[in-house]
Structures are given as structure tokens and as C-alpha cells.
Amino acid sequence: MSEKDIATPIRTKQILERYGFSFKKSLGQNFLIDTNILRRIVDAADISEETGVIEIGPGIGALTEQIAKKAGKVLAFEIDQRLLPILKETLAPYDHVKVIHQDILKADVINEIEEYFSEGQDLAVIANLPYYVTTPILMKLLEEKLPLRTIVVMIQKEVADRIAAKPNSKDYGSLSIAAQFYAHAETAFTVPKTVFVPQPNVDSAILKLTLREKPPVDTDDEEFFFEIVRASFTQRRKTILNNLSKYFSETMSKADMETCLTETGIDPRRRGESLSMEEFADLSNALYKLI
């Protein structure tokens, strides 16, 4: 283990003490202190010197360092100003890393990509995401249709399970469909809570999203499709007919809704969690014609 690695318990402790850094619970800060796991995260993204990498929340640079050893260029977004001087020191050996003091949720990411990376460059996101903003960040990256090949993120295991879930499972829901509409989702491996400081209450998982060139289903109206999906999971224990007829109570009668479901080949007594993405697309296209 080279002394240079930031992610050793001793080096992490030294850096934090030298700068008098205290963790902010409001920012969901948990730093990894296991270099092997960091390397596995980077390996999961299949990057090379040709790759440009976007990192979100570099912390003290532990993951950034491992990315920088393999990637051509790294652009890191850090929201906590107190970490900027630390990152300046820890990432000093890597002149192909740029740190921006910005909230990723407010950033014009496409503009930053165009300014910093080469046109048509292989791009990946690799990050240890704060638990409390995992979903908004992932959906921003997906919905903005950024020119990314892959997104590899460490997130709460429970959320990773939901994103990668298949129909007829307890984890399957609107988040699964939203993510899988834009990307193929899989859980690469799980990470125990013991390899972080401070130690979180739950285990984490590495989620790998491989971006699709186009969605796996055809929708007449993307926004309406997602509206149908969300409405179908309003109350998980209720049938799709009950959830949708309540949602559309002002624009469609329950009888019309039942007819539409039946004509689409969907039993109105089924629950949302049993419908595939294809069935949701067929249903939303049929309903879109009626509204």
C-alpha cells in the first residue's frame, strides 16, 4: 500500500485533524477508508486514459485519486467549501483533475462537459453519493440526457435494490422504471458500513447504470408515461384500476378506465408492481389518446 493512498484510516485521520474538519450530517458526509473497495468502484466503470470522468462530492479526494490514476480527465463537483483547500493539497499530484465548488443539482452540467472535455469523449460518472440526495442526483443525470456511457455510484443498498428491481418484487416501483427507462441497471457489489468514517447506519451498494441509446419502449408522451407509472404506485396494495381511477377521477370515469385496461390486455385487478415497462408504455399510450 503506497503512502500516497488517501483512503487509509491513518492518512484520512491525519488529513481531517490537520484541517480541523468536522463532518456535517446535513451534507451526508461519509468518507471511505478502504482503498481496495475504491479501486473496485473505478474498475466497475471500465475507464481508460481516453475517458473523462465526472465525480460528485469528492470529499477529501480518496475516490478522486483512484479515478485520476486511470482516467484522462476528471471533473469533480464539491458543495462543501471547507473541503476545497484539502482537495487542493491531496490532489496536487494530479493536474488533470479540476474541482468545481458547486451543487451538482444546480449546476449546468452539459455546459461544464462541453467546456472541460473533448467533443465525443468517452464519459463516465463515478461517485460516492450522499444518501439524502441520491435519487434527485441520479434522475438529473438521466433526465438531462447527458452524453454519458455509464454511471457508477455508491448509494444506500436499499435504493440500489429499488433501482435495479424487476417486476413482481417488493423493491420494484416507479423509481425502478424511471431509471431503467434511461439505462440498464445492475448492482455490482455491496459495501459494508464498516469501511466508512463516520460509520453510516446502513450498508451501501455499487450501482452501475449503462446508458441506453434510446428507451426500451415507445411512448407517445414521455411525461405522461411517467405520470401513469407514478399514479399506479400511489398505494402499493391497491389495484391498478383503483389507483388510476382515483388519480384521473376528474377526467375519466372508472368504467372508461376499466375498459381501457382490458383493451390493453391488462387485468384491472393487478397491482402496479406486476406490470412490466412495456405494459406501462402500452397503457399510457392508450390512455393518452383518451385525455
Annotated binding site for S-adenosyl-L-methionine: 30, 32, 57, 78, 103, 128
**Residue where the block lists cell 490532489:** 91
Q: How far apart are CA 125 and CA 138, in angstroms?
A: 10
Neighbours of 145 (CB within 10 A): 10
| Radius of gyration, CA atoms only, the chain | 22
Binding residues: 30, 32, 57, 78, 103, 128
Residue 81: how many CB atoms within 10 A of its CB?
8
104-128 in b/e burial notation, b at 16+ Cβ within 10 A? beebebeebbeeebeeeebbbbbbb
Measure the CA–CA gap between 99 and 59, rounded to whole angstroms: 11
Backbone angles phi and psi of 156, in degrees to 5: -60, 135
Instruction: Tell me the pairing of strands 183-191 and 122-128.
Output: unpaired
How many C-beta neighbours within 10 Å does residue 17 have? 9
**Strand intervals (E) in the chain:** 31-32, 51-56, 73-78, 97-101, 122-128, 150-156, 183-191, 196-197, 204-211
